[in-house]
Amino acid sequence: MEIKVLGPGCSKCKTTYQVVEKVIKENNLDVKLTKVEDIMEMMNYNIMTTPAIVVDEVVKIKGKVPTESEVKEILGI
């Protein structure tokens, strides 16, 4: 599984990355987690608001910082 956190580096984007990272570590998941800060690459996902979470190339959350339970839900935990 591959997860991307899209965002230009604002505090909400950093918090989103930290929430996702925490869920991955606490549940010992085999996941490739990356942070995408390049505007051109973000545009490929057709999002207008950040932060956004992309799981296996599908946008799952956009425009808000998710809770840990929301991250677990989109990951099927």
Which pLDDT belongs to residue 51?
Answer: 97
Q: Which residues are catalytic?
A: 10, 13
**pLDDT tens digits, residue range 26-76?**
999 999 999 999 999 999 999 989 999 999 999 999 999 999 999 999 999
Helix (H, G, I), strand (E, B), or coil: what is residue 50? coil
Q: Rounded to whole angstroms, how far apart are CA atoms 35 and 33?
A: 7
Could you tell me the domains of the chain? 2-75 (3.40.30.10)
Q: What is the DSSP letter of 57?
A: T
Partners of residue 18 on adjacent β-strands: none
Q: Rounded to whole angstroms, how far apart are CA atoms 37 and 10?
A: 10
pTM of the model as a whole: 0.93
Burial class (CB in 10 A: 0-12, 13-18, 19+), 12: middle
Which pLDDT belongs to residue 7?
Answer: 96
